[in-house]
A and B are shown apart, each in its own frame.
Chain A
Amino acid sequence: MSKRPPTRVVAAERVALAAIVGVFLVPVAWLVTTAYKPTRDIFSYPPTFAFEPTLDHFRGVFRYFDLVSLVQSSLIISLGSVALSLLIGVPAGYALARSKSRRAVWVAYFFLAVRMVPPVAPLIPFYLMMRDIGLLGTWWAVILINTTLNAAFVVWMMFSYFRSLPKELEEAALTDGCTLFGSFFRVALPLVVPGIVASALLCVMFAWNDFLYGSFLTSAETKPISVALLVAYGTKDISWGTLGALAHFSTIPIVAIALLLNRYFVQGLTKGVS
């Protein structure tokens, strides 16, 4: 805005913003700190805010959970799904952006519509399908179904990134004797790297945070950490502290990555939808 507003207004705005941010961060702060709180302080009555930090809960996490296997499952599922989604989604986004057919836009809308389906709708038939072909309980089942949503997202994202890229560069490369694939791979692709990073980041987040598919399509050996989190709750031995400690391996890495790559994260959230 043009005119410099009075400092009083700016200061009031900042105070309001800081207060809002504070309120929004309370639950996250609780989640992080509860991991270092001795159990007797978590379950003190009335609740206390001060505590002596301890690492007991992290020991508990290793005692009650096969953490390596959980994190491994989550990594395999999310990285597998992201790799597959980018592999089929980026070329498709390019094809739709460069096609001269007017129906290309409708194909793009088709991908957008796939993302809007409530996840339970494909899940039930997919569950039976996986059971019949013997993939139920394997990582493949979760990777395959996560990839439909993620690939649809990638297509839509990359469609908008490639569309905003001037065609002239690729045409110049073609005139210079570059192949069609070369004009995609060596000219267009390097220019949309931010888009690829943004799509990959959001796909990792979706797949990593997914609970529904993971909980119904995996078995005890292949279950991801998001599913184990629910177990870390409620029972006597496994307390909120364990939940907080477990969250250090599930939730907090994603939060940290999104903060570090904030620019791409914001791009992904805004561009993926408009």
Chain B
Amino acid sequence: MALAQGNTIESGRAPSPAAAVRRRLSFARRRQLFLLLFGAPAVLYVLVVAIWPLAQGVAYSFYDYSLLRPAARSFVGFENYRELFANDAARNSIVTTFVFTLSAVTLEFLLGLGIALLLWREGAFQRVCLALLLIPVTVTPIVVGLVFRALLAPDYGMLGYYLAHWGISPTRGFFGDPSTALGTLVVVDAWQWTPFMALILLAGLKSLPTDVLEAAEADGATPAQRFRIIVFPMLLPAVFLALVLRTMDAFRVFDIVFSTTNGGPADATDVLMIYAVKQGLQFFNIGFASAIANMMIVCIAVFSVAFVLLVRRADRRANEPAQ
């Protein structure tokens, strides 16, 4: 494995007599062996319990395999993947997921950036606000969905009643109408995850070099100019990090949808996770569900590689001296 083949020469040590070198070498060997033994259980565990099932999932995706008729399992090649783009429900699910992800991450980013800037000043008040703001992150996602369903219910809901009464929400409530259900889920997701976005951006803001900021202030730059020319470009690595984390999470949203609309009304909120779970664990179309899951893995991999490249570029720029 990777760890065992590390170099066996202690770096930065003065050369010592031959016997000592031999002892050192054997010590370095022993140390590598020790580290290998330390790392092996976790690697093995993940290989057996995560990678092996994932590999099986890849295999399943090439079969027409239904648990209802396990004997009729047959190899179909890329048929399940073709189905993903040919089938209306699957296509709708892909579009819905992308719309949800894009809107949720945009909303969370804009709100999160505002909140992070407000929290930037050092102080007890800001610390308490941050601690309280992080509460939504810890609430069980299933419960988040249920709470919003209750709050927004058009008949007895604390908010839903008035929203329906004043004609702001559709008569069947925000979750009951196909035109507003997905947007409502975006708001629910933003409620839970904007604080997290703000936290990552705040960590980025706090790591900015103060001398540059002070110099800009001394030069008489207005707050807006300082933000646009100095703060935001230097914050870009944190921005990309926050965006990639939330994009990957929003793309696999499940709990809040499952506990509010479960894909409906009609199929307005049928995101990929809901669709895959229904196909796999309710209708037992293992082959097709595996194809959906694998496509999601590919999408997430593409996002993360794209973002890593962006972060690298932003990092390089941020580290260049300001022009």
Contact = CB atoms under 8 A, between A and B. Distances in A.
Interface of A: 1-3, 5, 10, 13-14, 16-18, 20-21, 24-25, 27-28, 30-31, 34, 42-47, 49, 87-89, 91-92, 94-96, 98-101, 103-104, 106-107, 110-111, 113-114, 116-129, 144-145, 147-148, 151-152, 155, 180-181, 184, 205, 208-209, 211-212, 216, 226, 229-230, 233, 240, 243, 247, 250-251, 254-255, 258-259, 262, 265-266, 269-270, 273-274
B75 interface: no
Interface in B254-272: 254-255, 258-259, 272
Interface in B95-137: 115, 118-121, 125-126, 129-137
B297 A91 contact: no
A121 B199 contact: no
Interface string B152-186: 00011110011001000000000000000000000
B55 to A, nearest CB: 8
Nearest to A181: B34
A126 B42 contact: no
B254 A180 contact: no
B118 A16 contact: yes
Given A118-B297, A180-B30, 9 more contacts: A28-B147, A43-B156, A88-B42, A95-B39, A100-B32, A111-B42, A120-B254, A122-B54, A148-B49
A47 B57 CA distance: 49
A254 B138 contact: yes
B46 A211 contact: no
Interface stretch (B15-23, B76-84, B85-93, B273-281): B273-281
B203 to A, nearest CB: 5
A81 to B, nearest CB: 11
Given A17-B125, A25-B135, A101-B6, A118 B42 contact: no
Interface of B: 2-3, 5-7, 11, 30-32, 34-36, 38-39, 41-43, 45-46, 49-54, 56-57, 60, 115, 118-121, 125-126, 129-144, 146-151, 155-158, 161-162, 165, 191, 194-196, 199-200, 203, 210, 213-214, 217, 241, 245, 248, 251-252, 254-255, 258-259, 272-273, 276-277, 280-281, 286, 289-290, 292-294, 296-297, 300-301, 304
Contacts of B191: 24, 27
B251 to A, nearest CB: 7
A259 B131 contact: yes
B53 A125 contact: yes
Given A262-B131, A269-B196, A254 B45 contact: no
A229 B258 CA distance: 12
Contact of A117 (B11, B120, B297): B297
A27 B151 contact: yes
A259 B137 CA distance: 11
A105 B119 CA distance: 33
Contact of B300 (A2, A27, A116): A116
Contacts of A226: 140, 142
A120 B35 CA distance: 33
Report, nearest first, the 8 A-B pairs whose CB atoms are least far apart.
A103-B2, A101-B6, A92-B42, A95-B39, A121-B293, A125-B53, A125-B56, A95-B38
Given A129-B53, A240-B150, A258-B138, A229 B133 contact: no
Contact of B143 (A42, A99, A250, A273): A250
Contact of B137 (A120, A123, A269): A269
7 contacts: A2-B210, A100-B6, A101-B3, A101-B7, A125-B56, A180-B31, A270-B199
Contact of B60 (A124, A240, A250): A124
A189 to B, nearest CB: 12
Contact of B43 (A92, A123, A251, A266): A92
A266 B130 contact: yes
Contact of B134 (A99, A209, A258): A258
A155 to B, nearest CB: 6
B252 A118 contact: yes
A124 B214 contact: no
A205 B135 CA distance: 12
Given A88-B41, A107-B2, A230-B142, A212 B254 contact: yes
Nearest to B141: A209
A7 to B, nearest CB: 12
Contacts of A111: 42, 46
A122 B51 CA distance: 8
A226 B304 CA distance: 30
Nearest to B3: A99
A117 B297 CA distance: 6
A165 to B, nearest CB: 15
